[in-house]
Amino acid sequence: VEAGTTERLRTCRFEFGVHITVLTEEPLRQGVHFFKFVMHHIGGEQWCGLLRDCSQAGYSVEAPSLDAWAYYTGRPGGRSRRWAVGTPGNPLAAGAEAALHAAHRSVAPFQALEPSGDVIGMLVDMDAGAVAFDLNGKLQGACPIPPGVPLWVFTHLTSQGDHVELRKPPVHEANEETNAALGGELLDVSKGLDINDYSLYSCPVR
């Protein structure tokens, strides 16, 4: 960890294995916080966000089963995966791979990421119970999170060579649109697709 006058950093590289969930040492408990996930390399797909159950760290739990609120990056090159694909005519159907994943549901399509160079912004209000995500400064969406519950910042990596850097800039560096989203109408996470319901998927389950 490198400390600076304006932000704190943590870098994670995935060198072996199939998938891994990496989280902060301490959870968020109160207040407003701003984070940036700098995506240096995405070999497959990644999830970046907030995790409620810290026992899910490590290799034992695949991303669809995480108790989390996260930006799912999609897969560079457009290769669809089972937990990013909905039913025909649904806004989360194949082609809209990147999405907000919240409490085991794929809630709303987000912009897909390039294999390297994009930055996911995450603004969290622990007291109000809300989180907003942006990509390269452009708002993607905001949803409720459980108030009064400790939440860990996490990333879930799936491919050898994945490299993500976590930064914690001052809150005032979050853009105006992302700030406003926390106090606006939040996405209804109960209306999303169950990402563990395999009957919905139009591609084979691996």
Domain ranges of the chain: 2-188
β partners of residue 89: none
Inform me whether the pLDDT recorded for 57 exceeds 80.
Answer: yes
Mean pLDDT of the 7-11 span: 55
Inform me whether the pLDDT recorded for 156 exceeds 70.
Answer: yes
Longest dimension (CA), the chain: 50
d(CA 202, CA 206): 12
**Residue 160 binned pLDDT confidence (cut-offs 50, 70, 90):** confident
> Domain 2-188, what fold?
Jelly Rolls (2.60.120)
Place of tokens 């992302």: 178
Residue-level pLDDT at 13? 56
Mean pLDDT of the chain: 83
Neighbours of 174 (CB within 10 A): 23
Inform me whether the pLDDT recorded for 109 exceeds 70.
Answer: yes
**Residue 191 binned pLDDT confidence (cut-offs 50, 70, 90):** confident
d(CA 67, CA 36): 21
Mean pLDDT of the 101-122 span: 94
Residue-level pLDDT at 199? 54
Inform me whether the pLDDT recorded for 140 exceeds 90.
Answer: yes
Lowest mean pLDDT among 10-19, 87-96, 189-198: 87-96
Residue 200's closest CA among 90, 65, 56, 35? 90
Place of tokens 């870098």: 11
Mean pLDDT of the 9-21 span: 63
C-alpha 55: how far from chain center: 18
Assigned token pair, 193: 């697709």
Assigned token pair, 74: 């999609």
Mean pLDDT of the 87-93 span: 44
